[in-house]
Amino acid sequence: MTTTDAALESFDAVDLIRTKRDRGELTTDEINWLVDAYTREFVGNEQMAAMAMAILLNGMSRREIRDLTLAMIASGETMDFSTLGKTTVDKHSTGGVGDKITLPLMPLVASFGVAVPQLSGRGLGHTGGTLDKLESIPGWRADLSNDEMFSILRDVGGVICAAGAGLAPADKRLYALRDITGTVEAIPLIASSIMSKKIAEGTSALVLDVKFGSGAFMQDYAKAEELARTMVSLGQDAGVKTSALLTNMSVPLGLAIGNANEVRESVEVLAGGGPADIVELTVALAREMLTLAGQPDADVEAALSDGRAMDTWRRSIIAQGGDPDAALPVARETHTVPAPADGILVRQDALPFGIAAWRLGAGRARAQDPVLHASGVDLHAKPGDVVRAGQPLFTLSADDAARFPRALEAIEGAWELAAPGTAFTPEPLVRDRIQ
């Protein structure tokens, strides 16, 4: 970049960094220029890293966050589902341990005649990725062309696939930068990152599952609530019907943590069974999505029990090249930890169990790392359950037994048995709703 080229730019990145460093507000024009210049690589990573840190420390106003979101949307393409002839509704979860809710939720909601374009991602660290889970199914494809996605939405009603590279490319650059500069937790950047992609996706309604607790991205409840309110405001300002549920991620969701084992558990839910907490959250989110889609009286429990949701699941898997009847991967090695005494399980911290599954190979430390679909953790008891000495508490699975020691190290001290007869009151799974 020559001095002459730089002189043609509308603003200077250093001036904007100083403004935010000194707790000032950036104008709409300044934000638009900053995002465009970063996308063009005129603004370098080191300058955007300084800006991200200034935003983390000093925050942004609602107007600035809206402008940042709209600028990131404008950096790429947008999608339009108006030709489908169906109401579209999507769900986004901030992620957690054992969070396989998208798998039963998409076919459940789609079975009511609405379109569910569920553009999903891959896992990183202790939080699992929806696409990684589904790729346990032989033949299933995450990468679809727009024509394929629209065809499946018309024929099946729902699709779970990878987002195209053209949606909010500025966010993709900034997301990677935040991960290596200690600025992941900046609420304005989280909110604009999530909502720029969801708004660009073109859905007419959106439900956010914002998690708090030890296994959540945003562990503190007050911070999770602030994030939820910020994202709901962004959606509503953009004309997208948006609401959020604040849900507890102190304990792993369900009994399976991994990939193939989470698919098995999801199929159990679609067959009318499955763990109570997975069913509860799936039903709660389905009701919320269908309410925003204009069907507040939909009987979602009936769609689980009468097979409609399962039928939609099978059709969606087949449409994306998968075999819903194929055997899922099974690990070569297992290690089971038994209860040391009679008692009541009163604590089961989500984060350490997520880390254990990651160390077994169910997750990745870097975006390019492979995922081992058969690896993971299966829980045999949940907080509040009475257990007997010698009864299995949880089982680790991996193809290589050498992975077990570090996984066990992660879980050490993460669970607790109390004496028989100890009173136990579970925390509610859904704490609040924001609209």
C-alpha Rg value of the chain to the nearest Å = 22
Q: 3-class SS at 176?
A: helix
CA gap 391, 81 in Å, rounded:
51
Token output for 217:
């991205």
Look at residue 435 in the predicted model and tell me its pLDDT: 92
Active site residue 63: no
Catalytic residue among 91, 92, 133, 211: 92
Burial (CB < 10 A; 0-12, 13-18, 19+), residue 302, is: exposed
Nearest CA to 259 among 350, 357, 334? 357
Nearest CA to 115 among 79, 166, 139, 168? 79
Look at residue 363 in the predicted model and tell me its pLDDT: 82
Catalytic residue among 67, 90, 132, 171: 171
Give the single-character DSSP code of 323: -
Residue written as tokens 């059709």?
A: 315
Q: 3-class SS at 131?
A: helix
The highest-level CATH class for domain 82-319 is: alpha beta
Give the single-character DSSP code of 387: E
Active site residue 241: no
Look at residue 3 in the predicted model and tell me its pLDDT: 47
Catalytic residue among 122, 126, 178, 287: 178
Backbone angles phi, psi at 193, to 5 degrees: -65, -50
Would you mind telling me the total number of residues written for the chain in this entry? 435
Catalytic residue among 120, 192, 193, 266: 193
The alpha carbon of residue 288 and the mean position of all alpha carbons in its chain are separated, in whole angstroms, by 17
Look at residue 163 in the predicted model and tell me its pLDDT: 82
Active site residue 193: yes
Q: What is the model's pTM?
A: 0.93
CATH of the domain spanning 333-418: 3.90.1170.30
Look at residue 175 in the predicted model and tell me its pLDDT: 82
Nearest CA to 106 among 97, 115, 95? 115
Look at residue 147 in the predicted model and tell me its pLDDT: 92
Give the single-character DSSP code of 251: S
Active site residue 335: no
CA gap 168, 39 in Å, rounded:
10
| Residues forming beta bridges with residue 428, ordered by sequence position | none
Domain borders along the chain are 3-59, 82-319, 333-418
Active site residue 171: yes
Residue written as tokens 């369900």?
A: 254
What CATH architecture does domain 3-59 belong to? Up-down Bundle (1.20)
Catalytic residue among 197, 198, 211, 359: 197
Give the single-character DSSP code of 434: E
Which residues of the chain fall below pLDDT 50?
2-4
Token output for 246:
């604040």
Look at residue 124 in the predicted model and tell me its pLDDT: 62
Relative orientation angle of helices 13-21 and 28-39, to the nearest 10 degrees = 130
